[in-house]
Protein backbone atom coordinates (compact mmCIF):
# COMPACT_ATOMS: atom_id res chain seq x y z
CA UNK A 1 0.00 0.00 0.00
CA UNK A 2 1.34 3.39 -0.97
CA UNK A 3 1.59 6.19 1.60
CA UNK A 4 -0.85 8.32 -0.43
CA UNK A 5 -3.48 5.57 -0.28
CA UNK A 6 -3.01 5.36 3.49
CA UNK A 7 -3.51 9.11 3.89
CA UNK A 8 -6.69 9.05 1.76
CA UNK A 9 -8.08 6.13 3.78
CA UNK A 10 -7.20 7.91 7.04
CA UNK A 11 -9.10 11.01 5.89
CA UNK A 12 -12.13 8.96 4.80
CA UNK A 13 -12.03 7.07 8.10
CA UNK A 14 -11.93 10.33 10.05
CA UNK A 15 -14.86 11.77 8.07
CA UNK A 16 -16.95 8.66 8.75
CA UNK A 17 -15.95 8.67 12.43
CA UNK A 18 -16.76 12.35 13.04
CA UNK A 19 -19.85 12.89 10.86
CA UNK A 20 -21.27 9.35 10.48
CA UNK A 21 -21.25 9.99 6.75
CA UNK A 22 -22.77 6.88 5.13
CA UNK A 23 -21.02 7.54 1.83
CA UNK A 24 -17.65 7.72 3.56
CA UNK A 25 -18.38 4.50 5.45
CA UNK A 26 -19.33 2.71 2.23
CA UNK A 27 -16.16 3.99 0.57
CA UNK A 28 -14.07 2.82 3.51
CA UNK A 29 -15.73 -0.61 3.53
CA UNK A 30 -14.66 -1.15 -0.09
CA UNK A 31 -11.01 -0.85 0.92
CA UNK A 32 -9.33 -4.14 1.79
CA UNK A 33 -7.51 -3.16 4.96
CA UNK A 34 -5.33 -5.52 6.92
CA UNK A 35 -5.71 -5.56 10.74
CA UNK A 36 -2.30 -3.95 11.27
CA UNK A 37 -3.24 -0.96 9.14
CA UNK A 38 -6.62 -0.60 10.88
CA UNK A 39 -4.81 -0.61 14.23
CA UNK A 40 -2.41 2.04 12.94
CA UNK A 41 -5.30 4.22 11.74
CA UNK A 42 -7.06 3.83 15.09
CA UNK A 43 -3.86 4.77 16.98
CA UNK A 44 -3.33 7.81 14.75
CA UNK A 45 -6.95 8.88 15.28
CA UNK A 46 -6.50 8.74 19.06
CA UNK A 47 -3.25 10.71 18.86
CA UNK A 48 -4.69 13.37 16.55
CA UNK A 49 -8.03 13.93 18.24
CA UNK A 50 -7.27 13.28 21.91
Give me the helices (H) in the chain, please. 3-19, 22-30, 35-49
The per-residue pLDDT for range 1-50, each reduced to its tens digit, is 567 777 877 777 776 666 655 655 665 665 555 566 667 777 777 777 65
What is the model's pTM?
A: 0.33
Alpha carbon distance 45, 12 (integer Å): 12
Quote the domain boundaries for residue 18.
3-49
**Domain total of the chain:** 1
Amino acid sequence: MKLYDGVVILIINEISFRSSNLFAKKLLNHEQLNPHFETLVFSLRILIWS
